[in-house]
Amino acid sequence: MSAPTTYKIAAIPADGVGAEVVAAGRTVLDAMAAASGGTFAFDWTEFPWSCEYYTRTGRMMAEDGLDVLRDFDAIYFGAVGWPSVPDHISLWGLRLKICQNFDQWANIRPVHFHPGITSPLRKADDADLDWVVVRENSEGEYAGLGGRNLSGRGEGNEVALQTALFTERGCERIIRFAFDLARERPRKKVSSVTKSNAQQFGMVLWDETFTRVARDYPDVETESVLVDAMAAKFVLKPEDLSVVVASNLNADILSDLGSALAGSLGLAASANLNPDRRFPSMFEPVHGSAPDIAGRGLANPAGAIGSAALMLDHFGLQAEAARLNAAIEATAAAGVLTPDVGGNAKTDEVTEAVLGVLSE
């Protein structure tokens, strides 16, 4: 028998419930590898980078952290943020630092109904929810450009600038990514979201790029929607959406709205992809560190386990990814649910139930 393909994975649980859900995802992935008949295996290295690490060292990650991570096949991330450290320091010091330095320009956030989970939208049997939010993940409102204390006018009169960066290349690559994804889905439609009536430079460039790229995909339905109207459409006409592509901030907000409409942020998986594969991609649940429930075994592991499925897909293990997603669904359908989705199961019980379905 030939040696298994071994994927080197960097695990960064980071803060709060990150540790609990990353442990759940690792357990499931290791079980799948063990059952793969020697086809694939995972070689894990865990890094302690977090707000606690910041408190000890003054840094969110080791000085050579990016160099170390470069050699991994993927990064499996938990959640960043803790009340003792300002959020912009923890986010920029770890998660955004990795996304930007590894050119993970496409953030994929699938949103769909789960059987057995009540959604605020599930009023009618025909109301359907099956989208992928495609988030531009390298520039836009999160370009990190701007400054403070610009006026020199003294206390109480501070002026700050936060500049959004839109490059034609950045817009084009994420929009093409969205169109290519739409072609693989049952509903071949891309909805582009901006606020170009009010933001007349970068977002008009985005709109124009969308119109130009759309000409290369005549088989894909399109629409351009302002972000406020899209927020309403998420609630009022969910069945009319398939792939939603938006800038960094707009897609961040819309994907949280989408996950909440599906039942809970705890369900939402995501992949921060470097589609060129020059750097490792990073897989993480959409949710944050949830300090209110951290350490109590209450976190919903579905988002993290779903992110593990996205990682399998990234490695070309499509059948295993589909099997894992089906196991998450079957677990929900069987009523093994954490409190955020109306149940009373613990994180470990949901994980055990997923393992049980996988072993059937």
Residues engaged in binding ligand GGG (CB under 6 A): 79-81, 91, 95, 252, 284-286, 288
Residue among 286 and 345 whose Cβ is closer to ligand GGG: 286
Least distance in Å: CB of 91 to ligand GGG? 5
Identify the active-site residue in 53, 54, 142, 217: 142
Q: Min. distance of Cβ 92 from ligand GGG in angstroms?
A: 10
Q: Choose between 204 and 249: whose C-beta lies nearer to ligand GGG.
A: 249
Q: Is 134 left (phi over 0), alpha (psi -120 to 50) or beta?
A: beta
**Residue (95 or 195) nearer to ligand GGG, CB:** 95
Considering 7, 53, 54, 252, which one is annotated as catalytic? 252
- 164: Cβ contacts below 8 Å, ≥ 6 apart: 139, 140, 141, 143, 145, 199, 202, 247, 249
Nearer to ligand GGG, 81 or 202 (CB): 81
Cα–Cα dist 21/34, whole Å = 20
Rounded distance between C-alpha atoms, residue 247 and residue 260, angstroms: 20
E strand or H helix that includes residue 41: strand 40-46
**Which CB, 213 or 244, lies closer to ligand GGG?**
244
Which string of DSSP letters, residue by residue, matches 18-40? HHHHHHHHHHHHHHHHHTTTSSE
Alpha-carbon dihedral of residues 347, 350, 353, 354, nearest 10 degrees? -100
Q: Which of 73, 195, 217, 233 is catalytic?
A: 195
Rounded to a whole number of angstroms, the distance between the first and last alpha carbons of the chain is: 25
The catalytic residue among 256, 313, 340, 346 is 256
By beta-carbon proximity to ligand GGG, the closer residue of 177 and 179 is 177
Query: Can 195 be counted among the known catalytic residues?
Result: yes
252 catalytic per annotation: yes
Q: In the complex with ligand GGG, which residue's Cβ is closer, 79 or 294?
A: 79
Using the structure block, give the residue that is written with the tokens 């894990």: 44
Tokens 């099956």 belong to 130
Q: Provide the token pair at 320.
A: 């295993």
DSSP codes of every residue in 237-273 = -GGG-SEEEE-HHHHHHHHHHHHHHHT-GGG-EEEEE
* Least distance (Å) between residue 288 CB and ligand GGG: 4
Between the alpha carbon of residue 142 and those of residues 105, 151, 356, the distances in Å are 12, 23, 41
Q: Is 53 a catalytic residue?
A: no
What radius of gyration do the chain's Cα atoms show?
A: 20
Q: How many CB atoms lie within 10 A of CB 5?
A: 15
Q: Measured from the CB of residue 2, what is the shortest distance to ligand GGG in angstroms?
A: 36
The residue number whose beta carbon is nearest to ligand GGG equals: 79
For the bound state, the minimum distance from the C-beta of residue 285 to ligand GGG, rounded and expressed in Å, comes to: 5
* DSSP structure class, residue 339: G
Helices (H) and strands (E) in the chain, counts: 12, 12
CB of 204 to ligand GGG, least distance (A): 24
Cβ count near 248 (within 10 Å) = 23
Nearest distance in Å: CB 94, ligand GGG = 9
Catalytic: 142? yes
Residues annotated as catalytic are 142, 195, 228, 252, 256
